[in-house]
Structure formats: C-alpha cells, structure tokens
Amino acid sequence: QVRLVESGGGLVQAGGSLRLSCAASGSTLSINSMGWYRQAPGKQREMVAMITSGGSSYYADSVKGRFTISRDNTKNTAELQMNSLKLEDTAVYYCAAGVRSYTYWGQGTKVTVSS
C-alpha cells in the first residue's frame, strides 16, 4: 500500500507560479514512476508530467517548457514546479505512483488560475 498526500495548490494569477508537492508513505520502495495528472471540470483526467525511478521525465505538450517535475527518492517526494501558468491550467491536480501494474492516487489539490 502506498499513500500519497498532495499540497501546494491554490489561487494564482495568469503568468504566476505554483509548486505542488507530493509525499508518499507506506511501501515506498515498491514505487517505480511518479507523476502528476490533472482533471479540469467536464474533462477527462490527463497526464501532466511523470518521472521514473531513474530520473527520466516526460511532459504533456501543453506544459513543456513551463512545468518541471522532480523527485527525491530519499524523502519519497515528488514536486511539480509550474511557471507561466495559464487559465487553461486550472484543474484538480493529482499525484500518482506506479507500483508494478497498479497506480496509487492522491486526493488531489486544486489549482485555479485567474486572469
């Protein structure tokens, strides 16, 4: 079992920055990849960024160059630095952890970008 707790969401003006954090607990040694997903109202959940245990990272085209994912395996944390935020980045952001073929999810943290 892996438990994920996100923090760092909030309200920010367009063009601003936010940093999301995800703390993992439980069977953290079994975690392979960690990632961030988001779900906007009326839309499906989508992958934003992910990072493997080896440090390789992947991004959705919509956030490339603006968001950076990082991971600290010693602290069992993953973070998402979000810069140059746009209105369309408004969503609930979820931390995810992959353990073999199973994905654990956090409860989500809301990010609202205002004009």
C-beta of residue 82 within 8 angstroms of C-beta of residue 34: no
pLDDT at 27: 87
pLDDT at 28: 84
pLDDT at 106: 97
pLDDT at 29: 85
pLDDT in tens, 40-97: 999 999 999 999 989 999 999 999 999 999 999 999 999 999 999 999 999 999 999 9
- For residue 27, the Cα-to-chain-centroid distance in whole angstroms is 19
pLDDT at 30: 87
Please work out, in degrees rounded to the nearest 5, the angle formed at the alpha carbon of residue 39 by the alpha carbons of 38 and 44.
120
